[in-house]
Amino acid sequence: MAYLFTSESVSEGHPDKVADQISDALIDNFLAFDTDSKVACETLVTTGQVVLAGEVKSKTYLDVQKIARETINKIGYTKGEYMFDGNSCGVVSAIHEQSDDINRGVDRASKEQQGAGDQGMMFGYATNETENFMPLALDLSHRILIELAELRRENKDITYLRPDSKSQVTIEYSDDNIPQRIDAIVVSTQHDDFDEDETMLAKIRKDIVDILIPRVVAKLPEQIQILFNSDIKYHINPTGKFVIGGPHGDTGLTGRKIIVDTYGGKGAHGGGAFSGKDPSKVDRSAAYATRHIAKNLVAAGVADEVLVQVSYAIGVVEPMGIFIDTYGTCSFNMTDGEIAEKVSKIFDMRPFAIEERLKLRSPMYSETAAYGHMGRNNETVTKTFTQPNGEATTLDVELFTWEKLDYVDKVKEVFGL
């Protein structure tokens, strides 16, 4: 029997994502001037206020207040009427030195013997239902909000948008797990105040359905475009007026959108957040590494769908183990345990090896902090960072290295494909 599956996304202006972006902007600035920085930074945002807290071990000094304000302005909170803007909000820092008890388990005389920055289990997932090997419902949810943000910045076809928004997409699947159609789309977007509520709601609905959705569809591959039809149920700002939003409408915290950040509820999640953590924290680095494994396995034809789990003990170099689940979609006669054994020989999952393989000690994290950490485009960009004393550094930074299909040939060789 056919079934429905739903995933959601939130925009860069959502309060939790504002917090994530500030935390990751701090990570990038620390790594830009000291690649060995150890950082765990949490951010809280609320009406007119930002609170920074966490632990840092670094040779560099940053103006964290300035970085927070620049991040907020870049998102689009630049007006006093939002009750939260980068130029006037208060920024309080309670960042302090990293515990020596934690650091001694991570830093070793030999970098290759670097221990895991924490215990826990991390998951990576991939499916062949989309070109970027991501679950379709989540991929579409992200795309809707990315396009909505483009419309907001253009300020041309739709001129009343504010930064906070959410989306949700429900897909109907067949018994053999093939997407059949889009059942429902939810979009809630913050907007300027209107004189007449009913007129406002009708206009927003029309603009979302007639302007936003066609722009999203036009950028999709043909096999996904055909899933859109006139029978889709649209819920546009279903509660009505949405003028009060962002950190003024709802307090935001770092790490509170981990399902949006990963696979939209498909696969599994170990529970650890990503943003605000340097790559010695395996919550982040191993989650990227397991995604890298899962994506390369699916792309190589090992299975149509793959879940990878790895687990660690704090301060211990080698992982506790690697688990593979192909959901019965393996293309040849091999058990998931046998696949896991081969995977452990292809991919070195020691923390330092992960950092080296995926180039995680570069300032690559601001781009991850909105619209998902997985399924993004691997590209190289140029970034410039400036310290309080005016010293600047310009770097070429490779983004989303865990999305590369650079191990497909190796996987095929080991599995005889």
pLDDT digits (tens, 9 = 90+) for 368-401: 999 999 999 999 999 999 999 999 999 999 999 9
* Averaged pLDDT for residues 305-317: 93
Is residue 396 a part of any domain in this protein? yes
- For residues 227 and 280, membership in a common domain is answered with no
Please give the pLDDT value at position 5. Answer: 98
Domain that holds residue 381: 120-128+260-415
Please give the pLDDT value at position 26. Answer: 97
* All residues at 6 or more sequence positions from 174 whose CB lies less than 8 Å from its CB, including other chains: 2, 180
Q: Is 273 annotated as contributing to ligand binding?
A: yes
Q: Which of 194, 212, 245 is the last residue of a domain?
A: 245
Q: DSSP secondary structure string, 52-67?
A: EEEEEE-S----HHHH
Mean pLDDT across the chain: 94
* Helix, strand, coil % over all residues of the chain, rounded to 5: 35, 25, 40
pTM of the complete model: 0.95
Please give the pLDDT value at position 112. Answer: 64
- For residues 285 and 368, membership in a common domain is answered with yes
Q: Which of 245, 274, 304 is the last residue of a domain?
A: 245
Residue 315's Cβ-count burial label (10 Å; 0-12, 13-18, 19+) is: middle
* All residues at 6 or more sequence positions from 367 whose CB lies less than 8 Å from its CB, including other chains: 376, 381, 399, 400
Q: Is 14 annotated as contributing to ligand binding?
A: yes
- For residues 283 and 401, membership in a common domain is answered with yes
346 band by pLDDT with thresholds 50, 70 and 90? very high
- For residues 382 and 294, membership in a common domain is answered with yes
Rounded CA gap, 51 and 61, in Å? 18
Rounded CA gap, 125 and 237, in Å? 31
- For residues 74 and 188, membership in a common domain is answered with no
* Averaged pLDDT for residues 56-60: 94
Rounded CA gap, 293 and 402, in Å? 8
pLDDT over threshold 60, residue 313: yes
Rounded CA gap, 220 and 201, in Å? 27
Contact 114, 281 (CB under 8 A): no
Is residue 253 a part of any domain in this protein? no
Two structure tokens written together for 135: 């679950």
pLDDT over threshold 60, residue 351: yes
Is residue 105 a part of any domain in this protein? no
Q: Is 241 annotated as contributing to ligand binding?
A: yes
- For residues 182 and 298, membership in a common domain is answered with no
Least confident of 1-5, 171-175, 203-207, 360-364: 1-5
Instruction: Measure the CA angle with vertex 237, ends 236 and 241; round to 5°.
Output: 145
pLDDT over threshold 60, residue 104: no
- For residues 207 and 150, membership in a common domain is answered with yes
- For residues 273 and 124, membership in a common domain is answered with yes
Please count the residues of the chain. Answer: 417
Return the number of other C-beta atoms located less than 10 Å from residue 405's C-beta.
Answer: 15
Please give the pLDDT value at position 400. Answer: 98
Could you give the percent of the chain with pLDDT greater than 90? 89
DSSP 303: B
What letters, b where the CB count within 10 A reaches 16 and e where it falls short, cover 5-27?
Answer: bbbbbbbbbbbbbbbbbbbbbbb
Is residue 171 a part of any domain in this protein? yes
* Averaged pLDDT for residues 225-231: 95
Contact 116, 316 (CB under 8 A): yes
Count of the separate structural domains present in the chain? 3
pLDDT over threshold 80, residue 106: no
Q: Is 33 annotated as contributing to ligand binding?
A: no
Q: Is 347 annotated as contributing to ligand binding?
A: no
Q: Is 266 annotated as contributing to ligand binding?
A: no
Instruction: Measure the CA angle with vertex 122, ends 133 and 23; round to 5°.
Output: 90
- For residues 231 and 264, membership in a common domain is answered with no
Return the number of other C-beta atoms located less than 10 Å from residue 325's C-beta.
Answer: 20
Rounded CA gap, 281 and 229, in Å? 44
Two structure tokens written together for 298: 């699916």
pLDDT over threshold 80, residue 101: no
Please give the pLDDT value at position 331. Answer: 86
Q: How many CA atoms lie within 13 A of 250 on its CB side?
A: 17
Q: Is 98 annotated as contributing to ligand binding?
A: yes
CATH number for the domain harbouring residue 140: 3.30.300.10
Rounded CA gap, 272 and 275, in Å? 10
Residue 90's Cβ-count burial label (10 Å; 0-12, 13-18, 19+) is: exposed
Rounded CA gap, 367 and 370, in Å? 7
Contact 82, 284 (CB under 8 A): no
* Averaged pLDDT for residues 164-168: 98
Two structure tokens written together for 341: 């054994």
Two structure tokens written together for 81: 């009427």
Rounded CA gap, 272 and 259, in Å? 10
pLDDT over threshold 70, residue 110: no
Is residue 327 a part of any domain in this protein? yes
pLDDT digits (tens, 9 = 90+) for 242-260: 999 999 999 999 999 999 9
Q: Is 403 annotated as contributing to ligand binding?
A: no
Q: Is 55 annotated as contributing to ligand binding?
A: yes
Please give the pLDDT value at position 102. Answer: 54
Q: Report the Cα–Cα distance between both ends of the chain, in Å, rounded.
A: 33
- For residues 408 and 297, membership in a common domain is answered with yes
- For residues 225 and 305, membership in a common domain is answered with no
- For residues 124 and 273, membership in a common domain is answered with yes
Return the number of other C-beta atoms located less than 10 Å from residue 127's C-beta.
Answer: 23
